[in-house]
Amino acid sequence: MDKTRIISLPTGAMHEMCYIVKDESTGLGAVVDPGGDSADEGKRLILSCCEREGVKVAAILLTHAHFDHIISLEALRDATGAPVYVHRYDAESLINPELSYMSQFAGIDAPCRPAEHIIDEGDKIEIGETIIEVLHTPGHTPGSVIYKIDRVLLTGDTLFAGSIGRCDLYGGDELAMSDTLGRIKRLAEQWNVRERDVKLYPGHGSSTTLARELDNNIYLR
């Protein structure tokens, strides 16, 4: 991770987190989950952070397509020209403001445009010299993903510090979430996190580590 930096940016009242993945060798970056209390405010926060940190936005990555993670997506896409990446199972929610809850909770009825890139399990996204791997982690939504960068996971609303994403919204699936959590535990064993931990950056709240969650998160026991 010496060549890559994760910049954490709280963007709204729901404590949603936007992350900027900066490739230090090129200055290129990926914005993950552009939320905000409004489209203009979210865009302002993200672009101000990118300017301050010397980041040129090369991609916009979505962990899933709920409104609080995409509310400033269109404004940011227009401002930067960066392409959008979303899992194929959340592609429909992205363009449907009812499925994304954009109309119900944000009062925005205009749909987002389709993503330029549809991603799936195992895909790799290159941002300069940084390689971002896609892990499909359904449960919170059918197309939820975790982005893996070396020993860092951007977990979206799949896994939080001490909790997990809810499964009672459109497309939520408790059985799929159970399978996803089982997979995370198996991956933790493969990655030997007791010897060398893995950092987690969730879609809401504070960062944590995978070993800490294995010990303290009741959903991973």
pLDDT band at 82 (very low <50, low <70, confident <90, very high): very high
Percent of the chain with pLDDT over 70: 100
SS3 annotation, the chain: CCCEEEEEEECCCCCEEEEEEEECCCCEEEEECCCCCCHHHHHHHHHHHHHHHCCEEEEEECCCCCHHHCCCHHHHHHHHCCCEEEEHHHHHHHHCCCCCCHHHHHCCCCCCCCCCEEECCCCEEEECCEEEEEEECCCCCCCCEEEEECCEEEEECCEECCEECCCCCCCCCHHHHHHHHHHHHHHHHHCCCCCCCCEEEECECCCEEHHHHHHHCHHHC
pLDDT band at 12 (very low <50, low <70, confident <90, very high): confident
Give residue 205's domain range. 4-220
Q: Residue 112: is its pLDDT beyond 80?
A: yes
* pLDDT band, very low/low/confident/very high, at 107 (cuts 50, 70, 90): confident
What is the mean predicted confidence (pLDDT) over 89-104?
Answer: 94
- pLDDT > 90: percent of the chain: 92
Reported as a pLDDT band with limits 50, 70 and 90, residue 110 is confident
Query: Whole-prediction pTM value?
Result: 0.97
The pLDDT value recorded for residue 97 is 93
Average pLDDT, the chain: 96
pLDDT at 2 over 90: no
* pLDDT over 80 (residue 1): no
Question: Does 115 score more than 90 pLDDT?
Answer: yes
Q: What does the pLDDT read at residue 13?
A: 82
Domains: count for the chain: 1
* 70: CATH: 3.60.15.10
pLDDT in tens, 177-210: 999 999 999 999 999 999 999 999 999 999 999 9
Q: What is the pLDDT of residues 50-62, one digit of tens each?
A: 999 999 999 999 9
